[in-house]
Structure 1
Amino acid sequence: MSPLFPSDQAVVARHGWVQAVTAVLSALAAMVLVAALGLWGAGAADLPDGAFPRVVMATVVTAVGGTVKLSGSAGGLADSKAGLTVIPLSVTLTGALVLGAGFLRPLRHRAVAGGRELAGWAARIAVLWLVALVVLALTARQKFKLSLGDDTLGDLGDLFGVSPEVGFTTDVPPTLFFGLLWLAGVLVLALLVSRRAPLPGRLLPFQESVRPAAHAMVILLLAYVVLGTLVALVVAATRGHVPETFAVILLGMPNLVWLTLTLGLGATWNGKVQGPFGLPMPHVLDEVLRSKDTQALNLHTLAAHDGRVWWLLVLDAVLLLAVAFLMAARSPARVPAWRHAVHLAVALALTVLMICLLCRISARFGLSVLGIGDLGGGLGGQLFLKPELWTAVGLGALWGLVTGFLGALPARPVRRKGEIKQGTG
C-alpha cells in the first residue's frame, strides 16, 4: 500500500508520545483546577508567603496517593506535633476520569489489541506521569508561622521566645510508588469499565463477567457523587455558606457520599472529633463524633440525632437494584440470575473495600511548652474516622447477592444490543 494511503489499522492505533503528553497534561490540569478552586473556597488563598500554589500541589499529590508529611517547630523550649491523612477524592475522581478517557481515546473503534501494544501505550503514559510526580513532589513544600492565639499563650510565647511553625514536605519515594500504583489502577479500571476498549485475545472470555459488573460499580459511585452535589447545591442556595459548600464539592464530596453508601449498607465507622477540627457536612456526623471517647458511626447512632438517615438504606436499595438491572442488561441473555448475583456480590465487596481504604481520615495537632501539653487556645485537636473493615465488606457482599439476583430478573426480557431473536430472518 502506498505511504500516502495508510491502512485503517495505522489510523485508529495512533497512540504515541504526543497523545500520551496530551492525556497526562489534561489530567493534571483538571486536577490542579479543581484543587485550586476548592482550596480557594476553603479560604486557602489567604495563606501567607504566597503558599497557595504549593498547597494546591500538595493537594494533588495526596489525591494520587502521595505522602505529604507535616512537621512542627517551636524553638528549643517548645514542641509542636501534627499529622494529616486524608485523600481529597473529588480531585482524585477528576484526574481518574480525565486520564482514563485520554488513555482509551486512541484505542476506540477496536475490538482486539495485543498485550504488547497496550503495555507500550501504558508505559508512555507512565513515564510522563512519573516525571509529573517528581515535579509535584519537589514543588509541594512550605512552612507557616502560627499565632498563639489568646493573651496568656501570647505572653508565654514572648517570655520563652516561642514562635511555632508548621510545614509540609512531600516524601518523594512513597509518592512515586503510590502515584504509579494509582495510575496502574486507573488504566486497568478504564479497560474494565469501557465496553468498547480493546482487550488482548486471551482476556476476551472474561469480559462478559467482569465488564458489566465493573461498569455497574462505577455508575453507582458516580450516581452518589451527583446526588450529593445536587443536595449540596440546594443547601448552598437555601442556607448560604456558598464558598464553603463549593469547597466541599470540589475537594471531598466523594469522601462524604461514599461514606454514606457504606452506612446505608449497615456498616459501622469508629471515630472521634476534638478541638478545632470538624467534619464539613452534614452536621449530624460532627454531632455524633464530637466526644472525648471513640464513638460508633452507623445508622442507629445517626438516627438518634436525625431519623431521616434511615432513608440512606432505601437509597442504597434503589440504586443497587438499578445498577444490578443495568449489569444484567449489558450481559449476554444466557447468564443466569444467580451468576449475576455472584458477580455483583464480588464487585460490591471490592468497591466497599476500596471506599473503606480511601475514606479514612486522621488529623491531629498539638503544641506544648516546657513539656506542658494541650495548651488550649484552639491549638490542639484530633480527628479520626476508620471503618470496621471486614464487617463492611461482608455486608457489601450480602447486599450484592440479594440485589444482583433481584435486579437480574426484570432484565431477562430486555433485548441486548446486537442480539437476534430466534425465528427472524
Structure 2
Amino acid sequence: MSAPTVSARPAAHHGWARAVATVLTGLAVMVLVAAFGLWAAGAADLPDGAFPRVVVATLVTAVGGSVELSGNAGFLAQTRAGITVIPLSVTLAGALVIGAGFLRPLRHRAVASAGELAGWAARIAVLWLLVLVGLAFGARQTFAVDVGSGTLSDLTGLFDVSPKVGFTANVPLTVLFGLLWLAGVLLLALLVAYGAPLPARLLRFQESVRPAAHATVALLLAYVAVGLVTALITAATRGHAPATFALILLGLPNLAWLALTLGMGATWNGRVDGPFGLPMPHVLDAILRTPDVSALNLRSLTADDGRWWWLVVVDAILLLAVAFRMAVRSPARIRLWQHAVHLAVALALAVLMICLTGRVSAHYGLSLLGIGDMGGGLSGELFLRPRLWQAVGLGAVWGLVGGFVGALLALPVRRRGAVERP
C-alpha cells in the first residue's frame, strides 16, 4: 500500500494547480513591473486608451517576442519606424519568479528522474504557451503622430491625412521565442540552484557546472543591486524621480550589465540622432550623439569623467567575491586551473547573453511626397551594439583570472571533501 502513495506524491506536489500558480504569479509580477515602469515614463497619457496594449507589447518584448512597427500617412507622406529593445527589468522579474516556482516543489530532494522533470516543465510550458498567444494577439495599437505646427501641419490638415504609426506582435515569432525563453529560464534554474535535484546520469556534472553557474548569476544580480542603489541615490540627490523609477522598472539590468562589460574593457558602438535619447546617465547620450558612429568604452567614458575607472574596480571586487564563494562551495578535489576554466566558460556565456539581449535599435522617419525628411525634427535614429567577440573574449579572460585568484584565496578555507593531515 505504501508504493502507490510514494509514487503519487511527486505528482501531487507539482501538478496542474501548482503549474497554474507558477505561471500566473510570474505573469502578474511582469505586468506590475511593466505597468508601473511605463506609468512612471508617462505612457499612461497615451491616446485612445492604448496604455494596456503598450504594457502587453512590453511583456512580449521582455520574453524575446517580436513587435513590428508600421507607418501610414495616406498618399501625402510616408512613415517608417522600427524598434528593438528588451526591457530586462521585466524579463528578470519574470525569470526569478517562474524559476523559483519551478524549483519549489523539487526542493529537499537529491535526485529526480528526467521524465519527472520533463513532465513538470511541460505543464508550465503548456500554460505559458496560452499566455504567449494571448499576449501576441493583444499587442497591437495605432497612434496618430503629432507633427506640430508649420507647413507640414498645414498640408496634413488640407488633405485630411495625418501620419500614423502602430505596432503589431508577430504571433509565430513571439510564441517561438517565448517558449525558448521559458526553456532557458527553467534550465538555468536547475543549473544554478544548489538544492535542485538532477537526473542520476547528470549528477557527475554538477560539481563542474553548478558552482560556476551559481557564481555567474550571483555576479549579474550583484551588479543589478549596485545599479539599483546608484539609481536611488541619483534620484534622491539630483531629482528626476519619475524618469529614474521608469529606468529601474524597465531597463535597470540593461544599463547595469552594460556597465559590467564596459568595466571589463569591452566596446559598444552606437549613435544617437534626432529626438531619441538614452536614459541615465547623461554621459551615454553625450558620447553617442555625434554625426558618425561612436565608440562607448572606458576610454571615451573617462575622457568625460575620470571617475568611470571605478567600473574596473567594481568588476574586480565583485568577481573575486563570487569566485571565492564558488571555490568554497566546490569540493576540495577541484584544482585551481579547473576553477579558472569553469568560471571563464560561464562568464563568457554570460557576456554573450548580455551582448545579445542588450542591443538597442530605434528609428523613425517621415517624408513628404517621397522627398527627404520633412518631420521637422521628428525623424531620428538610435542604436547601440557591442563588438561581440571582443566582449566575449574579455569575459573569458576575466573569468580565467578571477576564478584562479578566487580559488587561491579559498585554499586556507576548509571545504567539502577536505581531509586534515595528522
Q: TM-score range by the shorter chain?
A: over 0.9
Preserved CA contact (<8 Å) 2:331 2:418: no
- Does the residue aligned with 1:304 lie in a helix, a strand or coil? helix
Which residue is equivalent to 1:172?
171
- Does the residue aligned with 2:372 lie in a helix, a strand or coil? coil
Which residue is equivalent to 2:238?
239
Q: 2: CA distance between counterparts of 1:198 and 1:12?
A: 15
Preserved CA contact (<8 Å) 1:150 1:377: no
Q: 2: CA distance between counterparts of 1:130 and 1:277?
A: 34
Q: 2: CA distance between counterparts of 1:60 and 1:317?
A: 34
Moved more, 140-149 or 188-197: 140-149
Which residue is equivalent to 1:300?
299
Partner letter of residue 186 of structure 1? V
Preserved CA contact (<8 Å) 2:329 2:415: yes
Offset at residue 421 of structure 1 (A)? 4.6
Offset at residue 50 of structure 1 (A)? 0.6
Q: 1: CA distance between counterparts of 2:279 and 2:209?
A: 36
Preserved CA contact (<8 Å) 2:57 2:67: yes
Which residue is equivalent to 2:381?
382
- Does the residue aligned with 1:153 lie in a helix, a strand or coil? helix
1:49 aligns with 2:48: yes
- Does the residue aligned with 2:121 lie in a helix, a strand or coil? helix
Partner letter of residue 146 of structure 1? V
Q: 1: CA distance between counterparts of 2:268 and 2:418?
A: 49
Offset at residue 410 of structure 1 (A)? 1.5
Which residue is equivalent to 1:87?
86
Q: 1: CA distance between counterparts of 2:226 and 2:142?
A: 38
TM-score (structure 2 length as normaliser)? 0.97
Deviations 1:335-359 (A, max 9, x none): 1111100011101110110000000
- Does the residue aligned with 1:196 lie in a helix, a strand or coil? coil
Preserved CA contact (<8 Å) 2:40 2:245: yes
Which residue is equivalent to 2:399?
400
Partner letter of residue 172 of structure 2? P
Pair 1:2–1:322, CA change in 2 (3 A)? closer
Moved more, 43-52 or 149-158: 149-158
Which residue is equivalent to 1:360?
359
Preserved CA contact (<8 Å) 1:268 1:388: yes
Moved more, 303-312 or 350-359: 303-312
Which residue is equivalent to 2:408?
409
- Does the residue aligned with 1:170 lie in a helix, a strand or coil? strand
Which residue is equivalent to 2:312?
313
Preserved CA contact (<8 Å) 1:20 1:124: yes
Which residue is equivalent to 1:208?
207
Offset at residue 420 of structure 1 (A)? 6.9
Deviations 1:238-276 (A, max 9, x none): 111111100000000000010010001000000000001
- Does the residue aligned with 1:334 lie in a helix, a strand or coil? coil
Offset at residue 155 of structure 1 (A)? 1.5
Offset at residue 68 of structure 1 (A)? 0.4
Q: 1: CA distance between counterparts of 2:25 and 2:86?
A: 21
Which residue is equivalent to 1:372?
371
Which residue is equivalent to 1:328?
327
Where in structure 2 are the equivalents of 1:192-203 lying within 5 Å?
192-203=191-202
Partner letter of residue 20 of structure 1? A
Where in structure 2 are the equivalents of 1:24-43 lying within 5 Å?
24-43=23-42
Partner letter of residue 10 of structure 1? R
Q: 1: CA distance between counterparts of 2:172 and 2:310?
A: 44
- Does the residue aligned with 1:362 lie in a helix, a strand or coil? strand
Preserved CA contact (<8 Å) 2:332 2:418: no
Partner letter of residue 212 of structure 2? A
- Does the residue aligned with 2:167 lie in a helix, a strand or coil? strand
Deviations 1:43-68 (A, max 9, x none): 00000111100000000000000000
| RMSD after superposition | 1.6
Q: 1: CA distance between counterparts of 2:405 and 2:2?
A: 57
Which residue is equivalent to 2:285?
286
Deviations 1:207-237 (A, max 9, x none): 0000000000110000111110111111111
Which residue is equivalent to 2:109?
110
Offset at residue 9 of structure 1 (A)? 7.6
- Does the residue aligned with 1:49 lie in a helix, a strand or coil? helix
Partner letter of residue 107 of structure 1? L
Moved more, 350-359 or 300-309: 300-309
Q: 2: CA distance between counterparts of 1:56 and 1:257?
A: 23
Deviations 1:76-126 (A, max 9, x none): 121000000000000000000000000000101110000011001101100
Q: 1: CA distance between counterparts of 2:283 and 2:35?
A: 28
Q: 2: CA distance between counterparts of 1:29 and 1:164?
A: 35
Preserved CA contact (<8 Å) 2:142 2:166: yes
Moved more, 264-273 or 7-16: 7-16
Partner letter of residue 148 of structure 1? V
Offset at residue 334 of structure 1 (A)? 1.0
Preserved CA contact (<8 Å) 1:12 1:106: no
Preserved CA contact (<8 Å) 1:58 1:140: yes
